[in-house]
Structure 1
Amino acid sequence: MEKNKEFSREPGKSRQYMTAVIVNLAALAYGSSLGWISPVLPNLLSKETPVGTEPMTDESASWLVAILCLGGLVTTPILGPLSDKFGRKSVGCLITLPSIMSWLLKIFARDQDYLIAARFLAGVNGAGCLFFIPLYISETTSDAIRGTAGSFLVLFLNIGFLFSFIIGPLISFNLFAIVCLILPLIFLGFFVLMPETPVYLIRKNKIAEATKSLMWLKGGDKEAIDRELVHLQGQIKEASVSKSAKFSDLFKDRGTIKGLIIAFGLLGGQQMCGMLAVVSYSTTIFEMAGSMLSPSISTIIIGVIQLTGSYLSTVLIDRVGRKLLILISCALMCTCHVILGIFFYFQSLEYDLKALGWIPVTALSIFVLAHCLGLGPVPFIVVSEIFRPELASLASGFSLCTLWFLLFMVVKFFATAITLIGISNCFFILAAFCASTFFLTLLIVPETKGRSIESIFSELNGIPHLNSKGTV
């Protein structure tokens, strides 16, 4: 009860939530770009292709899916230095440009090379979103609401997914791209009105501007503004961040090294659980299971389940905590992969499993729900909470490179792995990755719900005398 009263008195709570919603309009736009591939790919592979004169080959199609990851991989390393030099807000505006260019290339595409280039630019935009949104939210929201606001990222991504899944089959190829082009423009129109983060401004010794930013974020509560200003100045003075953070700074103390291990483990586990690959092949799984659902209906169902899981995550993340959600998510996903692996193993032995066709469909649905509940959104939030402010952008960029590389490997070679070792063994391997992420979370990931960075970092450094609030 006391905690709820304290939360209700949080100054500027509604403005901070509004800021999180506006920032995540970029995630919605990126989600529509991710979802674009599902409804248009069958048409591109058909004789009536809307681009060029020849159908796209399977090899070209695999690159159309995977090139997005390479766009993200090559862009991520420069985002930290850019955000430290020019500011979080400048990067937020800048990442809109590749999104706009991507949709324009799709609108005016004359051959498949236009689409490959467009998807690469979409990956550049995606890298910007995954880097910028958690960082901006972590620096503009209070400890009490940071988790819920941070979970908006995957929620808005999945809204974008579902938006594309629904409208893609209903309208023409060009009109689809025109409608989606509007989304990044809406984000840019709102975001230019948002303040720069006070953390960045204080690091640049722009105290008057930082005070103005806090004035907006805290709803004009002078006492809260003064308290936060002193707190942030103390943090930054203690960290001596007058100089830009260097790569070697990531390995200078135990807490940062452990934070990197956690970031690599969670973001790596997030990709190696096989979510994107499984969703990409969901239609094939439905067909192999004997489902009578059409491909478009199947993708819409998956989209609705993703959105439901993401919504549940926003409701639960500041109630049950980050760590528990990841553990539940990994356990459920591991179980679903084992069930799918067993089903397709017996199917490969030519057992008649038509009467049990509901099992893989149900397992796939629970898998998607579990991913969006925990392992989908929560790693981004945890990664934004476990590094000191002066290292946050550099560490996030470094760990996100791992994400993009592993995502590329999974998406590009999942189909090849199915051919080489069989779909059942692929699911058993994915189950092993889910189990590994479960135990890593259980053993070394701290619970960060409602805690200050001082408290979290002290725990990572093995200092036992601070409580969850960061006080003795």
Structure 2
Amino acid sequence: MAQEQKSPPPPPADEKPEAAKLMGGTHFETSRVPQYAATLVVDILHLIYGFGIAWSAIALPVLIDSGGSGDFGGNGTVNGTDNGTSVDSGDSSDQKLTITLEQGSWLAAVLYISAVPPMVIFSYICERFGRKMCGYLIGIPYVLSAVLMAFASSFAVIQVSRALLGIGSSGIFVLAPLYVAETVEDAIRGRLGAFVTLMRNVGILLTYLLGTFLTYKQFEYVSIIPPVLFVVSWYWMPESPMFLLRQNKVAEAEKALRWLRGGRADVLGELDKMQASLAAMKSEGARSATLRDLFATRGSRKAFFIGLLMSCNQQLCGFFGVVSYTFMIFGEASPVLKDWSNVIVGAMLVIGIAVSMMIYDKIRRKVLLLLSNFIMISTLLTLSVYFYLKHHGHDVSQFGWLPLTAMSGYVLGYSAGVAALPIVILTEIFSPKIRNIALTTNGMFTWFIIFLVTKTFPMMTEEIGFHGACWFYMAWCFLGVFVIIRILPETRNRSLESILNELEYGKKKLNKTSSQNVAAFDEFPTLTNNEKKENL
């Protein structure tokens, strides 16, 4: 007699309340809200980084000694207007701190050079002690930097503050991509992965906006809020389930995953996939990748070389120099627009990356990168012609709107592809075994390039003029176009195996091998229906 089928037992009574407890008493059965929340919290770090990038554009005009006049800046004010943003010690004596343009270039650039050495340390901490610990260790220098800057009354203290900001910024490029990749679902991973650049650009925009309305000291006090907000919010975020599984903390991993999936009960399948992925990685060998592994095969060498060239294209197009010294460019803008020039450029940055996020998965990577470079080339050419004519005594006063228009187009073009796609492509052209060390090595190289661009921008504009600097950055954009057309493989909608094979063997050889396989397959005799029946 057949037994009556019984429905599966309900989940333990404490499962749902535990998930609800983690969500603060509210249970979201199928919500992705926790994943968006986790991404938003970790990307507060990039908002702070955006503050640091744009800081020099609003602070250096206030700090630089008025003796260094010239075509750009040197008047000690923001956009040529004295809005009372002097740096003082907080007393009635109004004791001002002034610096030279050379010192100002160090304040702008020290953020980036101080980020190079700690990247290896943060990578180790993230792998050894977890994503949560890494986040706290990033938050500490960020908080210290903001507090020091708010109460700084000397060049040395400001320098230390900027260096601490660089140390923290080094860690975010290790933590944020890894944490997002390990905590969000595949369906929204690409969108939330690009959220990093959006938050950075929002930070730049907020800095420009606050710098328009606040005094220097008021801005520095406000800058304390984001790092403190991150440290407090980070406490409520879960550890990465993948890291917990690597520590054999299966129960804690399940608990974290349930929170991230809105308290859903159907997370065991996803947990099993994570464990299978870890088992596969262990079966390939427990030895960590080294620098030697980056050059072990033709494909890995080519991928590493492509990564360096893409970083050069991304940074030597001059973006960080331009956004750090906008006051030097917009000193030439029309009086009507110059007070809002920074804000308009910041808004274009946010709009550009927001639009790009919607089309990244719909248009080929190479097409977007080419479009991005061609827009930057055309706008840099426009700027170079304008400043070349001005440098040689031609009257360009009727074109005072041109620098702002060209700059807006430049940052839109940068955001369209070159801003975020290189890091996306880097994650797609390396095998999982060497991906971490490849990204770390490339990141250190990128920080150094940003330092060079930011440090040399004032000197370059003084020696060869801003038009000469534009020509220099244009040359690197043209090199980027060559790399994209001739060397870079298309990675959109392609499997990792296909991309790695193309890098290893070359596209022509792969196509030839594929054609030979098809021809060999066609040589097999086709059996008739009668022959099939006889074989059966």
Same fold (TM over 0.5): yes
Q: Percent identity?
A: 32
1:29 corresponds, among 48, 54, 57, to 48
Alignment of 1:121-132 (within 5 A): 121-132=164-175
Per the TM alignment, residue 226 of structure 1 is displaced from its structure 2 partner at its CA by 4.8
Q: State the structure with more CA Rg.
A: 2
AA partner of residue 153 (structure 2): R
Alignment of 1:48-197 (within 5 A): 48-50=86-88, 53-197=96-240
AA partner of residue 272 (structure 1): L
Counterpart position of 1:379: 422
Counterpart position of 1:419: 462
Matched, 1:276 2:295: no
In the superposition, relative to structure 1, how do residues 140 and 448 fare at CA in structure 2: closer, same or farther (>3 Å)? farther
In the superposition, relative to structure 1, how do residues 322 and 293 fare at CA in structure 2: closer, same or farther (>3 Å)? farther
* Number of equivalences: 455
Instruction: Report the 3-state secondary structure (helix = DSSP H, G, I; strand = E; otherwise coil) of the residue aligned with 2:213.
Output: coil
Counterpart position of 1:19: 38
Instruction: Report the 3-state secondary structure (helix = DSSP H, G, I; strand = E; otherwise coil) of the residue aligned with 1:320.
Output: coil
Instruction: Report the 3-state secondary structure (helix = DSSP H, G, I; strand = E; otherwise coil) of the residue aligned with 1:100.
Output: helix
Whole-Å separation in 2 of the counterparts to 1:14 and 1:447 = 33
The answer (yes or no) to whether the contact 2:97–2:153 under 8 Å persists in 1 is no
In the superposition, relative to structure 1, how do residues 195 and 325 fare at CA in structure 2: closer, same or farther (>3 Å)? farther
1:339 corresponds, among 382, 403, 406, to 382
1:221 corresponds, among 266, 278, 298, to 266
Instruction: Report the 3-state secondary structure (helix = DSSP H, G, I; strand = E; otherwise coil) of the residue aligned with 2:214.
Output: coil
Moved over 6 A (4+): none
Per the TM alignment, residue 366 of structure 1 is displaced from its structure 2 partner at its CA by 0.4
The answer (yes or no) to whether the contact 2:318–2:473 under 8 Å persists in 1 is yes
AA partner of residue 39 (structure 1): I
AA partner of residue 40 (structure 2): V
Structure 1 range deviating more: 290-299 or 266-275: 290-299
Structure 1 range deviating more: 105-114 or 136-145: 136-145
The answer (yes or no) to whether the contact 2:50–2:204 under 8 Å persists in 1 is yes
In the superposition, relative to structure 1, how do residues 286 and 34 fare at CA in structure 2: closer, same or farther (>3 Å)? closer
Structure 1 range deviating more: 401-410 or 104-113: 104-113
Whole-Å separation in 1 of the counterparts to 2:505 and 2:31 = 34
Per the TM alignment, residue 398 of structure 1 is displaced from its structure 2 partner at its CA by 0.7
Per the TM alignment, residue 336 of structure 1 is displaced from its structure 2 partner at its CA by 1.3
> CA RMSD of the aligned region, Å?
2.8
Counterpart position of 1:251: 295
Whole-Å separation in 1 of the counterparts to 2:484 and 2:315 = 15
AA partner of residue 343 (structure 2): I
In the superposition, relative to structure 1, how do residues 169 and 361 fare at CA in structure 2: closer, same or farther (>3 Å)? closer
Counterpart position of 2:304: 260
In the superposition, relative to structure 1, how do residues 440 and 137 fare at CA in structure 2: closer, same or farther (>3 Å)? farther
Q: Which runs of 5+ in 2 are unaligned?
A: 1-29, 65-75, 78-85, 90-94, 515-536
In the superposition, relative to structure 1, how do residues 187 and 204 fare at CA in structure 2: closer, same or farther (>3 Å)? same
Structure 1 range deviating more: 215-224 or 25-34: 215-224
TM-score by length of structure 1 reads 0.87
Per the TM alignment, residue 44 of structure 1 is displaced from its structure 2 partner at its CA by 2.0
TM-score by length of structure 2 reads 0.77
Counterpart position of 1:291: 334
Counterpart position of 1:3: none
AA partner of residue 79 (structure 1): F
Question: Residue by residue, what CA displacement relative to the aligned partner does 1:245-272 show, whole Å, maximum 9, x if unpaired?
Answer: 3222222233332332232122221110
Relative contact order: is structure 1 or structure 2 higher (C-alpha 8 Å, sep ≥ 6)?
1
Question: Residue by residue, what CA displacement relative to the aligned partner does 1:178-199 show, whole Å, maximum 9, x if unpaired?
Answer: 3221212222222333333344
Per the TM alignment, residue 206 of structure 1 is displaced from its structure 2 partner at its CA by 4.6
Structure 1 range deviating more: 248-257 or 326-335: 248-257
AA partner of residue 256 (structure 1): S
Per the TM alignment, residue 211 of structure 1 is displaced from its structure 2 partner at its CA by 4.4
